[in-house]
Structure 1
């Protein structure tokens, strides 16, 4: 395992460094190791990069966890979201330059919501997005960005207990190729392994 700091982000990399890269984003108030089970399933076939969000939540002087943006999942606060997207864009560019490949992104909860936006924003860098219980932000129209067409971007919406049907419809309307299924580390890993290399 290698640990690196890239700007405000810290990453942990496992698996074959020459293999197709996959970036894992944690849920709100979690840490990079929250997706260890999924990472372990992918490490034999992928270069797994687990990322810690740059913002720290403290409670009574102790670290509660890390987060990507303020506000609810469905309507993130735009300044903090913009910071997270900017940091992650730099990571994607670096991974693309190192490997010459597009990157798969998987996230849980808040990390899944951010992963969906990354996939829509940087389609040329992203081969597919898996979001586990992370909805597409409902305030996309308020964001100071222009989203290009999704051009068939493969998207997996895996659910444990979130209603992702509105997100599925919104992503399909943007041109994404959406698959929905119950969440499970094996199901998500299998879907990611099926993406083009």
Structure 2
């Protein structure tokens, strides 16, 4: 054999069983989407093996609510024992959300972010919270891969706050590459916003502490 002969060595194959076991320990990837007073953490589905890491991620961002829009494949006790509420709104994979899920989602977003002024310490700017990781409020949401059902609901929230279709898609895809299939894109393009979240479109401003002195 000459020295210039190239010997091709096939890559080591991974059996389906070992591949599945490997995926169980992969840390769920999360993407923070922020607009105005709203903070959403899109993530893929956790499992029992990586749940501790997943919980630390939620706590880092201050997410006390997680919306699960896919099949239930893990116990929720580890989450609820850390003060994290789990909401189950499963709907078919690859499809747009049904009207009842959209209505409940918009209501949840309104209730979560409408009272932030009273929850922030005086003189603490929202940028300070972001730099430390923990936000005044954050909703985590996941489907299986975090590329379809979960991003669609976040997109609806942005559009209800006044963001246009193209900007919404670009904003989410910049953080979550590969998000949305064509059916979901068509749904969002034809979605008619009712403007229910426009009050959350402006950045949160904290009033400065009033000075009180004796003259």
TM-score (norm 1): 0.38
| Bigger strand fraction | 1
Q: Which has the higher contact order (CA 8 A, sep 6+)?
A: 2
The structure with the largest alpha-carbon Rg is 2
TM-score normalised to the size of structure 2? 0.36
